[in-house]
Amino acid sequence: MNILIVGGGGFIGSHLSEEILKRHKDWRVTAVDISSTKIEYLLTEKNFNFIRMDIIENVDLLEKYIKECDVIFPLAAIASPWIYVRDPLKVFELDFEANLKIVRSAVKYNKRVIFPSTSEVYGMCEDDEFEEDISNCITGPIGKQRWIYSCSKQLLDRIIFAHGIRDGLRYTLFRPFNWIGPRLDDIYNENIGSSRVVSQFLSNILYDKDINLINGGAQVRCFTYISDGIDALMKIVESDIADKQIINIGNPENRCSIEELARKIMDFAKRYDKLKAHAERIKIINLNSDDYYGKSYQDVSVRVPSIKKAETLLGWKPFVSMDELLSKTMDFYFKPHA
C-alpha cells in the first residue's frame, strides 16, 4: 500500500510514519511537509520518501502524489489558539482551503481519505461526553475569531461526508482529543503561543517564565498519549471497518484541569536535573484571557470524548495514564538518551 501523509513532518505525522514502516515492511510512505526536523531518523528508510513542499504554493505537484497513492492522511494544519486569534485568515487558508483541494483530488482519483477532524468541532457543546453522531457542534460569535479553526475543520467534515454520499468517497473522520508525547512541539522556542499547552508549560519552566493559567485554568481536557492515538489510526488504515465513520480518539480517564496539569508538570519537573532549579524559581499565575489572547478568544470549560464507537468498532482503548503520559513526554525532552 502507498500511503501519502500531508504534514508528515509534524507531531502526528512523524509517529504515524514510523509506525507504518515498523508494522508493514511492504508499505510505502510518502511524507510531504515544509520541514523534516522531526523525521530525520526516517530519511534513510527504504520505503520512506520525504517531499519538502509548501502545499499552498504547490497544488499541481501535490495532486501528482495524490494520484499515485492509495490512502491520504491530510494532517497539515495550524493548531494554535494564539494564531487563531491573531491571524485567522492564515488558519483558514491552510486548514480549510489547502485541505479542500486535497479532498477534491481524492474524489477525482477515487482515493481513500483519513482526515483529522478535531475535538474543537464540538465547540461549546454542553453534553457530558461528546458523541460523534449525536452531539451538536456549537461555536461562538463571529467576533470570537478563535473559532475559525473549529469552523474550518467542521466544514471540511461536512464536505467529506457529502462527497461520501454523492461520489462514494471512502473516508474516515477521526477526532483527536489532546494528543501528547515526544516531538509534540519545539520547547526551545521561547515565543509565546508557539506550542500547545504541555510543551508551552515545559518551555516556560526551561526559560524561567511563570506559567500562565488563563482564567484560572479551570478548563478540563482529556489527554491522550501519542502511542494510543497512533494505535487507533493503524486499526483504521489496516482495514475498512471505519469506512464512512466519525471516530473520537481520546482518553476520558485522563481528565484533568489545566490548573491540575500545570501543578503536575511543576512537580514532575523537579525530578529532572535540567529543570529542577527553574521549577523552584517560577510561579503559577492567573491571567485574564483578554490580557493573554485578546478580545477574539473564547474557551470551553469541559471537553470530554465518548469513545464507545472506537471501543466497539475498532476494538481499541487507550492505556497510558496521565502520570505516565507526562513522564514519557518529559523523559524525551529532558532525560539523557543513550
pLDDT per position as a tens digit, 44-60: 999 999 999 999 998 78
pLDDT band for 194, please (50, 70, 90 cuts): low
Closest by CA to 254, choosing from 220, 219, 300, 223, is 223
Q: Regarding the domain delimited by 2-184+224-252+304-319, which CATH topology (the fold level of the hierarchy) does it fall under?
A: Rossmann fold (3.40.50)
pLDDT band for 338, please (50, 70, 90 cuts): very low
Q: What does the alpha-carbon distance between residue 149 and residue 260 come to, in Å, rounded to a whole number?
A: 26
Residue 245: predicted pLDDT? 98
Q: What is the pTM of this model?
A: 0.95
Share above pLDDT 90 across residues of the chain, in percent, rounded to a whole number: 87
Cβ atoms of 242 and 173 within 8 Å: the answer is no
The region of weakest confidence among 187-196, 202-211, 288-297, 317-326 is 187-196
For the stretch 269-311, pLDDT in tens is 999 999 999 999 999 999 898 888 889 998 888 999 999 999 9
Q: What does the alpha-carbon distance between residue 312 and residue 133 come to, in Å, rounded to a whole number?
A: 15
- Partnered with residue 71 across adjacent β-strands are 3, 112
What are the CA-CA distances from residue 31 to residues 94, 104, 268 (Å)? 17, 19, 34
What are the CA-CA distances from residue 272 to residues 116, 186, 259, 279 (Å)? 34, 18, 21, 10
What are the CA-CA distances from residue 327 to residues 136, 257, 265, 324 (Å)? 35, 18, 9, 5
